[in-house]
Amino acid sequence: MRRNKCKKSSSSSSSSSSTISSVSYIPEEILIDILARLPAESLLRFRCVSQSWRGLIGSPSFVSKHLNRNVTKLSHTYLIALQRLRDKPALCHSLFSTETFEECLKLRHPLWTEEQFRIYGSSNGLVCISDQVLRPSSPICIWNPCIRKFRTLPQSIFKPHYSSYDISLSFGFHPELNDYRVVTMGWYVRSVIKVQVYSLSTGSWKMIEVIPPWLKFNPDWCQGCAFFNGVAYWLFTKSKKFRFVSFDTDSEEFEEIIVPDTISTKGFTYVGVYNGLVCLFYSYLEGPDCQKPQKYMDIWVLKEQSFTKLHTAVLLPGRDYLPLGFSIQNELIAKDKKHTKGDEGDTGQMVLYDLEMKLIKKTGISLAHDSHYKTSAGTYIESLVLLNR
Amino acid sequence: MSRVFKLKSSDNETFEVEEAAALLSETIKSSSSTEITVPNVKAEILGKVVEWCNKHAESEDTKDQLIKEWDAEFVSVDQHVLFKLITAADYLQIKELVDQLTQRVGDMIKAKTLKTVEMTYPTFNVEREVQEELKSLGF
């Protein structure tokens, strides 16, 4: 099967003739293959080589190919974290190598200083950022830091006259529709809930009109939220019980999923995505006689609308980890909270915990709290998404 | 009894290749004849491709460290030779060889400045938006 675009080798003379004429033209498919292996920074620069390269690199098919290659081969992936620096600014979001844990890029956004934004989701090279404390007027940006392109979302449709007491934000990719979505849920006084969905393809917000009555239970607290495969998930606490809600951004339907009784509000929970499944991370103390309780960590995954326990790990005494996310290799990204004697240097550092093999990797990255005591960390895969939008 | 394939270069030299090595090429696999002419590829280049195929046919474990080292040395050639090898491997559809060669080019290209890239990959209508583009991206 011969490809049409292959041009003949231009040189029959010796290779000592000028560089341009002695070089063979490479078939376009091979050129695409070569370019798809490059880091985003190189590709940005090579857009300036010529019009045809510019067109090629910016084309939706190339952007997809480049991203898919990174996802399947796990190349050009990073850890993204809010780190603590010794000099000013004291906090900085940065990208770190997944192998050496060295800082590769500081993330600076024109609308916020380093210390003031929070990352609410990371997907396919895009991160969604906004204020550390969300208000109805908080600006929201979808940003690709490695190509320095961002889209500021239009102001939300709903302009409340009364105060909100909790707004949650989640961001992610909808693979079937090749669309990136932001979902906000705001709880206001007098049991008013406002759910809005932003789609990157349409560039606009949609207010969800139909809210099922069972949803108006006035949660005490939103423990966490996540977005996966076009569906947004929230974990709420209400009267010392958990309530887990999902919202499909296509069908616009809400569903409640029962949280097993063993997951108690006394422990610590975190909502995330583990190995392609929505999961609940749950850590708790347990032990005979409660004399010397041990710290446990469980991962419960959501399969067919119910949670099943996948892994359990017991921590060494004195050790405690705050979960922050999952790495591209499905390790738990966590903050080392306590220290044992002689190990004080590890406090507040990022560790990667392989839950299956029960192995811990220390990264040496010092993690910081933002001004509202939230630490953030996750995974970042390079892509060219947003390049030509 | 394994078959022997004959590969003919554009300058009329013939290489005899054992079945195991020859079938690494999809083009040869789907060919009805055991005699294949490879247009636009000279003996020097075709010979190297045959060498690669022979090496990869005889060792079963492609993840072997020795093979990896051999492969790394194989692709450490001049740009001209590299591109000609790509053309040949592409025509013969030897996926793994194309993969290794393109990876090598990718690695070489990463560090290059714009001007050098332009010289190496000549295309049409070179437009000089360099300064503006780089400035607008904050580089």
Tell me, yes or no, if A160 comes closer than 8 A to chain B by beta carbon.
Answer: no
Cβ neighbours of A40 in B, within 8 Å: none
Residue that wins the pLDDT comparison between A318 and A219: A219
pLDDT confidence bin for A17, thresholds 50/70/90: very low
Instruction: Tell me whether residues A9 and B84 touch, CB distance under 8 A.
Output: yes
Q: What is the pLDDT of residue A9?
A: 41
Instruction: Give the span between the Cα atoms of A358 and A311, in whole angstroms.
Output: 10
| Model pLDDT for residues A316-332, shown as the tens digit of each residue | 877 888 889 999 888 99
* pLDDT over 90, % of chain B: 36
Instruction: Tell me whether residues A23 and B79 touch, CB distance under 8 A.
Output: yes
Q: What is the pLDDT of residue A92?
A: 86
State which H helix or E strand residue A50 sits in: none
Q: What is the pLDDT of residue A7?
A: 42
Instruction: Tell me whether residues A26 and B83 touch, CB distance under 8 A.
Output: yes
Instruction: Give the span between the Cα atoms of A171 and A151, in whole angstroms.
Output: 14
Query: Do A265 and A240 form a contact (C-beta atoms < 8 A)?
Result: yes
Q: What is the pLDDT of residue A25?
A: 67
Instruction: Give the span between the Cα atoms of A165 and A188, in whole angstroms.
Output: 6
Tell me, yes or no, if B73 comes closer than 8 A to chain A by beta carbon.
Answer: no
Mean pLDDT along residues A339-362: 75
Asked if the bond preceding A89 is cis, omega within 30° of 0, the reply is yes
Q: How many CB atoms lie within 10 A of CB B41?
A: 24
Instruction: Give the span between the Cα atoms of A16 and B50, in whole angstroms.
Output: 26
Q: What is the pLDDT of residue A206?
A: 94
Structure tokens at B132: 């503006």
Query: Do A363 and A79 form a contact (C-beta atoms < 8 A)?
Result: yes
pLDDT confidence bin for B15, thresholds 50/70/90: very high
Structure tokens at B123: 């295309």
Tell me, yes or no, if B130 comes closer than 8 A to chain A by beta carbon.
Answer: yes
Q: What is the pLDDT of residue A289?
A: 64
Cβ neighbours of A34 in B, within 8 Å: 102, 105-106, 109
Mean pLDDT along residues A258-283: 91
Going by the DSSP 8-state scheme, the letter that residue A16 receives in this structure is T
Whether residue A180 is predicted with pLDDT greater than 50 in this model: the reply is yes
Tell me, yes or no, if A4 comes closer than 8 A to chain B by beta carbon.
Answer: no
Q: What is the pLDDT of residue A348?
A: 85
Instruction: Tell me whether residues B118 and A39 touch, CB distance under 8 A.
Output: no
Q: How many CB atoms lie within 10 A of CB B79?
A: 15
Whether residue A347 is predicted with pLDDT greater than 90 in this model: the reply is no
Q: What is the pLDDT of residue B112?
A: 66
Q: What is the pLDDT of residue A4?
A: 42
pLDDT confidence bin for A231, thresholds 50/70/90: very high
Structure tokens at B14: 């013939």
Whether residue A345 is predicted with pLDDT greater than 60 in this model: the reply is no
Q: What is the pLDDT of residue A115?
A: 63
Choose among B96, B40, B100: nearest CA to B76: B100
Which residues touch B115 (CB under 8 Å, ≥6 apart)?
A: none
Q: Which of B83, B105, B109 sits opposite A24 (nearest CB)?
A: B83
Structure tokens at A352: 């990667």
Number of residues assigned to chain B: 139
Instruction: Tell me whether residues A30 and B121 touch, CB distance under 8 A.
Output: no
Q: What is the pLDDT of residue A156?
A: 81
Whether residue B131 is predicted with pLDDT greater than 60 in this model: the reply is no
Query: Do A144 and A153 form a contact (C-beta atoms < 8 A)?
Result: no
Q: Can you spell out the DSSP letters for A358-383?
A: TEEEEEEEEB---TTS---EEEEE--
Residue that wins the pLDDT comparison between B134 and A173: A173
Distances (CA, A) of A144 to A53, A69, A96, A111, A334: 21, 17, 16, 14, 24
CA of A146: which chain B residue's CA is closest? B137
State which H helix or E strand residue B130 sits in: helix B130-137
Q: What is the pLDDT of residue A21?
A: 31
Q: What is the pLDDT of residue A12?
A: 40
Tell me, yes or no, if B133 comes closer than 8 A to chain A by beta carbon.
Answer: yes
Distances (CA, A) of A122 to A40, A89, A243, B91: 17, 23, 25, 40
Residue that wins the pLDDT comparison between A129 and A342: A129
Residue that wins the pLDDT comparison between A252 and A116: A252
Tell me, yes or no, if B65 comes closer than 8 A to chain A by beta carbon.
Answer: no
Mean pLDDT along residues A147-152: 92
Backbone angles phi, psi at A304, to 5 degrees: 50, 50
Whether residue A16 is predicted with pLDDT greater than 60 in this model: the reply is no
A vs B, Cβ pairs < 8 A, gives 95
* pLDDT over 70, % of chain A: 88
How close B1 comes to chain A (CA, Å)? 29
Q: What is the pLDDT of residue A384?
A: 95
CA of A46: which chain B residue's CA is closest? B114
| Model pLDDT for residues B47-69, shown as the tens digit of each residue | 999 999 999 988 766 567 888 89
Q: Lowest mean pLDDT: which of A111-125, A257-271, B37-51?
A: A111-125
Instruction: Tell me whether residues B119 and A53 touch, CB distance under 8 A.
Output: no
How close A55 comes to chain B (CA, Å)? 12
The DSSP bridge partners found for residue B8 are: B14, B37
How close A70 comes to chain B (CA, Å)? 14
pLDDT confidence bin for A286, thresholds 50/70/90: confident
Write down the mean pLDDT value for chain A. 85
Query: Do B27 and B33 form a contact (C-beta atoms < 8 A)?
Result: no
Whether residue B123 is predicted with pLDDT greater than 60 in this model: the reply is no
Tell me, yes or no, if A16 comes closer than 8 A to chain B by beta carbon.
Answer: no
Query: Do A365 and A349 form a contact (C-beta atoms < 8 A)?
Result: yes
Choose among A142, A116, A114, A138: nearest CA to A127: A142
Instruction: Tell me whether residues B110 and A51 touch, CB distance under 8 A.
Output: no
Whether residue A23 is predicted with pLDDT greater than 50 in this model: the reply is no
Mean pLDDT along residues A30-51: 88
| Model pLDDT for residues B92-122, shown as the tens digit of each residue | 999 999 999 999 988 888 766 666 665 555 5
Q: What is the pLDDT of residue A346?
A: 52
Tell me, yes or no, if A5 comes closer than 8 A to chain B by beta carbon.
Answer: no
Whether residue A264 is predicted with pLDDT greater than 70 in this model: the reply is yes
How close A287 comes to chain B (CA, Å)? 47
Instruction: Give the span between the Cα atoms of A92 and A219, in whole angstroms.
Output: 32
* pLDDT over 90, % of chain A: 49
Structure tokens at A209: 């009109």
